[in-house]
Structure 1
Amino acid sequence: MKLFKPLLILLLGTGVCSAKPKPIIVAYVTSWTTVMPDPNYVTHINYAFGHVNDSFNGVRIDNSERLKRIVSLKDKFPKLQVMLSIGGWGSGKFSEMAATAENRKKFAEDCLRVVKEFRLNGIDIDWEYPTSNAAKISNAPYDTKNYTLMMQEIRNSIGKKKLLTLASAAEAKYIDFKAISPIVDFVNIMAYDMASPPYHHSGLFKSKFTDGMPIEEAINAHVNAGMPISRLVLGIPFYGHGRNGIKGYIDYRELVKLTGFKPMWDDEAKAPYWENNKGEFVLTYETPESIAIKCDYLLKRGMLGAMYWDYGADTDDGILRKAVHAGISK
């Protein structure tokens, strides 16, 4: 053994013997639903949402009692990671908060207060479109620079042992990823809502039903922007977009109850869709089969794991969340 001990130390020191991190599963759990997530199928929970307060210097939490109940799951599942997601579509006041050093510091200090008070594992920032007015919230040309300053201030406040993550638009725009890469733990790519029928909103590859960007290009865009692929998490929608008799936004638990439509499969995009009796593309959505393919793809690409929006959109028996778990855990 003495002969091999120096070699063992050398191998350990170079990381040869270090274990590859297990893939993660991030589930968004919303404040306005009542279903309690099953920690057997997720590793991380993003509680949606917190917001920048009206004074631009702190955090306001939707339905804080529900957040407490979700955090209590850690009593029986100590490995479960629970984060507060601050932001979301239409959640404003980020631009004003991030615009001054004083507000950034106070906001970051309040993030630490929230982490301590609610026994959180970290903060997830969902200011998804800095500099953009798409969500009809305040914005400014210098938002991207201030976003980086804000994230650094939050990291300084909560420390290195707590998680700091974010949600990112598929195009990898709006955020300086090279600048924030040393600051954040991982990035959740919102690889959905990229189109509406008659196109896929979350197709893996390009096909004739692609209008804009397929997921493969979204991942590549983030890598090219400066984020290591090993710290990218692929977002999967638990809802669909419809037209001509199907709601524009429809949870999976609702759409599986619909009848009179023909399930179709786009083998180029690796994406399902529905046609009506006129042969029209009327629904873009996900199935366990498409999720399995996405999970296989992200693992082969060396991504960190999968994320989905949202837990409450699944069926009661968890058809989609079980598909994600099976795909990531294999």
Structure 2
Amino acid sequence: MRSIKSLSLMLLMATIPFVQSCVVKKNQKQQQAKKVIVAYVTSWTSVMPDPKHITHLNYAFGHVNDTFNGIRINNPERLRNLTELKSTAPDLKILISIGGWGSGKFSEMAASDTGRTKFADDCLRVIKEFNLDGIDIDWEYPTNKSAGISSSPEDTKNYTLMMKAIRNRIGKQKLLTLASSPDAHYIDFKAIQPVIDFVNIMTYDMGNPPHHHAGLFRSKYTKWISADEAVTAHVKAGIPIQQLVLGIPFYGHGKNGIKGYIDYKEVVKLTGFKTLWDDDAKVPYLENDKGELVCTYENPESIQIKCEYLLKRGMLGAMYWDYAGDTEEGTLRKAVYAGINK
């Protein structure tokens, strides 16, 4: 007959695998819960986002003011209305995104210690005044004036100093994020990595018809770079994979009778075109009766594949521009949510 002590030991040994399994599952759920879904919401639209499908809301836009020492906010009343979402969704993080294509005055502001300090002070003021969770910097792009903004060869160095100044002023409890070019140029990522929370890669606008603008992988329709190559470029530039967020467009680009910039909610209403799938790039496109690629865009299937990709690579999550481009029933945002929380 076995002793009570030996039976107890056998019982304990038998329960260890079960306990370990529970711990693993708990850790997996915790890791999954940490994934982010960042939605850009614009000042010029009126739709109110559904907090249950997002974790972070980036309000677009604020801008560097005319005196290069503070922030000018587009439609501040809309921002106040958006922050009221926190009353029913206290875990929702709301940031103001400063910049955007064609938004300048960064170069002048960041060029001096005084300008950077006063700008960082105003970042804190805006956070407090609007009850925000942080700052998202969308300078497109340091050292580059293609957007019609001023630039300087010193911009990259000054960008680092600006980000450090903002972090020092807003503290460690607030978020500091940024939007970046797919090729990971213009910014010293190794220098800013310690002071930022994560990077939103703008893995879209990477081509116009007859090319894809957000292909996940390279194909014959790739013009410049694929999303996969963009992620790898950022890792090589110095940002750990777990600090990278993959950008997804809720709009497409068209030609030959289709608007150059067209929201997804309008794409699905188009008629007279053939819907095709690029199995190399993992994205859909529209073709006209001449066999030409005339519209590049995303759909739920391509979004599902992108989410599977980012989870497999260990990325932090997904970001999309912009919330209002979706259908009224939320076809794409629901696809992102389902893909991230698979």
TM-score range, shorter chain: over 0.9
- Residue 247 of structure 2: aligned partner: 235
Match of residue 217, structure 1, among 226, 229, 235: 229
Conserved 8 A contact 2:103-2:140: no
Alignment root-mean-square deviation, CA: 1.7
Conserved 8 A contact 2:102-2:140: no
Inter-partner Cα distance in structure 2 for 1:317 and 1:79: 23
Q: CA deviation at 1:18?
A: 7.8
Is 1:136 aligned with 2:148?
yes
Name the aligned partner's letter for residue 295 of structure 1: C
Match of residue 208, structure 1, among 220, 223, 245: 220
Structure 2 CA distance for partners of 1:255 and 1:81, relative to 1, 3 Å: same
Inter-partner Cα distance in structure 1 for 2:101 and 2:333: 23
Inter-partner Cα distance in structure 2 for 1:138 and 1:280: 38
Which string of whole-angstrom CA distances, capped at 9 and with x for unpartnered residues, describes residues 157-176 of structure 1? Answer: 00000000000000000000
- Residue 105 of structure 2: aligned partner: 93
Local SS of the residue matching 1:40: helix
Is 1:254 aligned with 2:266?
yes
- Residue 245 of structure 1: aligned partner: 257
- Residue 125 of structure 1: aligned partner: 137
- Residue 13 of structure 2: aligned partner: none
Inter-partner Cα distance in structure 1 for 2:33 and 2:336: 17
Local SS of the residue matching 1:240: strand
- Residue 177 of structure 1: aligned partner: 189
Conserved 8 A contact 2:219-2:281: yes
Inter-partner Cα distance in structure 1 for 2:55 and 2:186: 28
Name the aligned partner's letter for residue 153 of structure 1: A
Q: CA deviation at 1:326?
A: 0.5
Is 1:26 aligned with 2:26?
no
Local SS of the residue matching 1:290: helix
Aligned residues: 319
- Residue 164 of structure 2: aligned partner: 152
Match of residue 285, structure 1, among 297, 302, 306: 297
- Residue 53 of structure 1: aligned partner: 65
Local SS of the residue matching 1:181: helix
Inter-partner Cα distance in structure 1 for 2:196 and 2:326: 29
Is 1:329 aligned with 2:341?
yes
Whose Rg is larger? Answer: 2
Is 1:265 aligned with 2:283?
no
Q: CA deviation at 1:16?
A: 11
Match of residue 112, structure 1, among 110, 116, 124: 124
Structure 2 CA distance for partners of 1:267 and 1:16, relative to 1, 3 Å: closer
Local SS of the residue matching 1:182: helix
Match of residue 295, structure 1, among 294, 304, 307: 307
Is 1:308 aligned with 2:311?
no
Identify unmatched segments of 5+ residues in structure 2: 1-15
Name the aligned partner's letter for residue 205 of structure 1: F
- Residue 77 of structure 1: aligned partner: 89
Local SS of the residue matching 1:292: helix
Local SS of the residue matching 1:282: strand
Inter-partner Cα distance in structure 1 for 2:280 and 2:43: 37
Name the aligned partner's letter for residue 236 of structure 2: N
Structure 2 CA distance for partners of 1:96 and 1:216, relative to 1, 3 Å: same
Name the aligned partner's letter for residue 87 of structure 1: G
Q: CA deviation at 1:22?
A: 2.1
Inter-partner Cα distance in structure 2 for 1:62 and 1:17: 38
Name the aligned partner's letter for residue 121 of structure 1: D
Which string of whole-angstrom CA distances, capped at 9 and with x for unpartnered residues, describes residues 169-221 of structure 1? Answer: 00000000000000100000000001001110000001111111011100000
Inter-partner Cα distance in structure 2 for 1:17 and 1:113: 36
Q: CA deviation at 1:282?
A: 0.3
Percent of residue pairs bearing the same amino acid type: 68
Which string of whole-angstrom CA distances, capped at 9 and with x for unpartnered residues, describes residues 76-115 of structure 1? Answer: 1000000000000000000000000001000000000000
Name the aligned partner's letter for residue 124 of structure 2: L
Name the aligned partner's letter for residue 147 of structure 2: A
Q: CA deviation at 1:21?
A: 5.3
- Residue 177 of structure 2: aligned partner: 165
Name the aligned partner's letter for residue 137 of structure 2: I
Inter-partner Cα distance in structure 2 for 1:60 and 1:280: 43
Q: CA deviation at 1:255?
A: 1.4
Bigger helix fraction = 2
Structure 2 CA distance for partners of 1:178 and 1:276, relative to 1, 3 Å: same
